[in-house]
Structure 1
């Protein structure tokens, strides 16, 4: 599977075209020698298309159900990772707002460091994840923010409660981040892919066993079957790598938090002034 990672660097159009083209080529190219062997060994031995149809229907049902379940599982994993990314960004926004209640100079310093981390996540983490990497410098920014937050000493009961809440939010964000990093290398085991590819070949090979006088008609039917299997393989491949390819999870949630919360005018002084009154 790792040998196919270069496909994710292509656009969806070319990715789909290559996968569907490969399965179609196997189907149509294999039909030529298959028909020669059929005419030589099977056409005179009571060969019946009905028997082949029964086997194709049975094997096709089993393979279709299996591949469908795999595709659904890949989609559920993709959705879980996407939801995790959204939650991580939302927690980062909540954390930034909670830090607005910290006294100076801790508030400005922690705001700046959290903003730098979010910017680095957008500009460095995501390109790295699309290559299957986790940039170390982004982790260092989060570690620096965590160290400076841990060094803060609450001076009142209110600050103690606020500090505890901020620590809780940071722990949740760190947990979500760890799940996101783990999803970079998360994919189906090789044994599953062997079953998927072998099942695809078996279904295509069964289509070769039909007795059809017209080669063009036979080739057209095999091509349609092969193209459909190729489309299913393309969707499964795309969903298997949530951070790679055109159909990948982007940093939109983090950009929204950065633009709407972290770059918004600071409302804390006016809120504090109202509280003082």
Structure 2
């Protein structure tokens, strides 16, 4: 709501404040509407392409984040099953560390990231799993094959985790936000230069400002994929954690 109030209010304020001055300065250009019309159309096309690119980029960031967390959850489930094939006490140790890692991600790491905090203490638990796996010495051909597959899955899990962490802080650079506001300002200035009635001018500015506010809201909601009310869902990891806890009972 604040974004809509800002853009629409600023646009109408500019009409009230600058309309008379611009009409006076451009009073000799009686044919200025015909000159401004193609310029506004050209600016609108460029501005529209830029906004579309930003929206697509934000959506791609969110999609990549969702793919990363889904892939991480899948490999967590696979690893938990792989660990059940190891002999005791290594089996219990590996599964316990993995459960603690998932608990940390679900209850601490993801909520912290949603608030804009960088919390990656789970790296210590991942390192613990790596040390335990590195200490295992297969005694049979079957254990050797099983261990090789587990190490491969563990590597994929680590890569998915890193991708999820990197995507959590993916955002639109400040330069593009500046360019977006400059495009709105230029379009607003061109609308104010038209020689039309004040009703028509206020209507045009309101439509432009409302459209701009809607797009800014849309891009903002998709920016930083793991933050805010519309953040990437973590149901896949949460479900995996619940299944682990049930199997451990």
Q: Which residue number corresponds to residue 177 of structure 2?
A: 193
Q: Which residue number corresponds to residue 23 of structure 2?
A: 39
Distance 1:37 1:91 in 2: 65
Give the 4+ runs in structure 1 shifted more than 4 A. Answer: none
Q: How does 1:196-211 map to 2 (within 5 A)?
A: 196-211=180-195
Q: Aligned residue pairs: how many? A: 248
Distance 1:49 1:84 in 2: 51
Return 5+ residue gaps in structure 2 as ranges: none
**What are the Cα deviations for residues 243-266 of structure 1, in whole angstroms up to 9, with x where unaligned?**
111121132110121223x13447
RMSD between aligned residues: 1.8
Q: Which residue number corresponds to residue 94 of structure 1?
A: 78
Identify if the C-alpha distance between structure 1 residues 251 and 159 changes in structure 2 by more than 3 Å, giving closer, same or farther.
Answer: same
Q: Which residue number corresponds to residue 257 of structure 1?
A: 240
Q: How does 1:123-134 map to 2 (within 5 A)?
A: 123-134=107-118
Q: Which residue number corresponds to residue 12 of structure 1?
A: none
Specify the SS of the correspondent of 2:16.
helix
TM-score, normalization by structure 1: 0.83
Counterpart of 1:220 (choices 203, 214, 238) is 203
Distance 1:241 1:136 in 2: 16
**What are the Cα deviations for residues 51-102 of structure 1, in whole angstroms up to 9, with x where unaligned?**
3222211110111011101211221121112111111111111111111111
Following superposition, the deviation at residue 170 of structure 1 comes to: 1.0
Q: Which residue number corresponds to residue 275 of structure 1?
A: none
Distance 1:45 1:53 in 2: 14
Q: Which residue number corresponds to residue 117 of structure 1?
A: 101
**8 Å CA contact 2:171, 2:224 repeated in 1:** yes
Specify the SS of the correspondent of 1:51.
helix
Q: Which residue number corresponds to residue 220 of structure 2?
A: 237
Q: Which residue number corresponds to residue 18 of structure 1?
A: 2
Distance 1:22 1:37 in 2: 23
Return 5+ residue gaps in structure 1 as ranges: 1-16, 267-277
Identify if the C-alpha distance between structure 1 residues 217 and 62 changes in structure 2 by more than 3 Å, giving closer, same or farther.
Answer: same
**What are the Cα deviations for residues 11-54 of structure 1, in whole angstroms up to 9, with x where unaligned?**
xxxxxx22222221221111112211133222343144333222
Following superposition, the deviation at residue 136 of structure 1 comes to: 4.3
TM-score, normalization by structure 2: 0.92
Following superposition, the deviation at residue 166 of structure 1 comes to: 0.9
